[in-house]
A = this chain, B = another copy of it.
């Protein structure tokens, strides 16, 4: 396995020059693009890593997976799906068009920005701080890492420039999808996106999902099986933005990417994978990360199809 990961890192690095780091959040554009780290968490709880696996990055959209599971735990499936749909969109992750044109009027799924912001308004907590602490605590348990915290600079950068997300949130307030105060919900969203991890953390998150909610380290049930399966389904149909279909064909496993350069991938019943490489393709997916996963999928026959 170590050898395979080393080769996946080499293979993926060859494509980094075709991408570029996220520019729409100024703080993200300052990262060194020439990094690629990969970690795998196995059924026995062991972690194997290669490359820049200890480099920190912000989770960004990978956090949508965590927030969605917590919202389902907090509010139940029926209520959550009255606020967000279950279908892929065919539009960009930050598109606002379907909020106006789709019937019924709600975000098409919890993995696009609109849906994820709506999901954040469903997290329980008596005030914004408690909501964030609950989300962070859940995140830490899933990653088996009690030191996770958010990157204040990235958070400030997102909060300052997040006009598109504000547009989505206010639109959803207008159509009665968003609950609570717009700026409070967005603050939670910006903080959760800025949580800082390395590839080992998200490999652990992926492993919990691979084993249907069970921690491969402690054996503890962290997420009900039904919810773990549900979120893996969303990762397949819309986890890689509007490149989800192509990723399903080329790699064939549930995965969620973030514009920070991370990809959290799941081989059901087998292992969790965390990859980090900050140069992105035109859809916002880590270009080296996707290539490394393609390599692993082909060599280890990981496709679920």
Residues in chain A within 8 A of chain B (CB atoms): 85-91, 95-102, 108-109, 163-164, 166-171, 173-174, 182, 229-230, 232-234, 236-238, 242-246, 248-249, 252, 254, 268, 303-305
Q: Which B residues are CB-close (under 8 A) to A234?
A: 245, 249
Q: Which B residues are CB-close (under 8 A) to A85?
A: 245
> Are A86 and B245 also in contact (CB < 8 A) when A97-B100, A163-B173 are?
yes
- A sample of 9 inter-chain contacts (CB < 8 A) reads A89-B90, A97-B97, A101-B101, A167-B170, A233-B252, A237-B237, A238-B245, A268-B304, A268-B305
> Are A95 and B88 also in contact (CB < 8 A) when A163-B173, A238-B245 are?
no
Name the distance in Å between A88's Cβ and chain B's nearest Cβ: 3
A237 to B246, CA, bound (A): 10
A174 to B163, CA, bound (A): 5
A91 to B98, CA, bound (A): 10
Name the distance in Å between A104's Cβ and chain B's nearest Cβ: 12
Q: Which B residues are CB-close (under 8 A) to A268?
A: 304-305
- A244–B170 touching, CB < 8 Å: no
- A229–B305 touching, CB < 8 Å: yes
Q: Which B residues are CB-close (under 8 A) to A99?
A: 96
A166 to B163, CA, bound (A): 10
> Are A233 and B254 also in contact (CB < 8 A) when A87-B243, A171-B164 are?
no
CB nearest neighbor in B for A232: B305
A257 to B112, CA, bound (A): 26
- A86–B171 touching, CB < 8 Å: no
- B230–A86 touching, CB < 8 Å: no
- A174–B170 touching, CB < 8 Å: no
Name the distance in Å between A175's Cβ and chain B's nearest Cβ: 9
A95 to B91, CA, bound (A): 14
Q: Which B residues are CB-close (under 8 A) to A109?
A: 245
Q: Which B residues are CB-close (under 8 A) to A87?
A: 88, 90, 242-246
Name the distance in Å between A222's Cβ and chain B's nearest Cβ: 17
Contacting A101 at CB < 8 Å: which of B97, B232, B233, B245?
B97
Residue from A85, A96, A252 whose CB has the most chain B CB atoms within 10 Å = A96
Name the distance in Å between A86's Cβ and chain B's nearest Cβ: 4
A98 to B100, CA, bound (A): 11
- A305–B167 touching, CB < 8 Å: no
A101 to B96, CA, bound (A): 10
Q: Which B residues are CB-close (under 8 A) to A246?
A: 86-87
CB nearest neighbor in B for A88: B88
> Are A245 and B88 also in contact (CB < 8 A) when A237-B236, A304-B305 are?
yes
A304 to B230, CA, bound (A): 11
Residue from A169, A238, A246, A248 whose CB has the most chain B CB atoms within 10 Å = A248
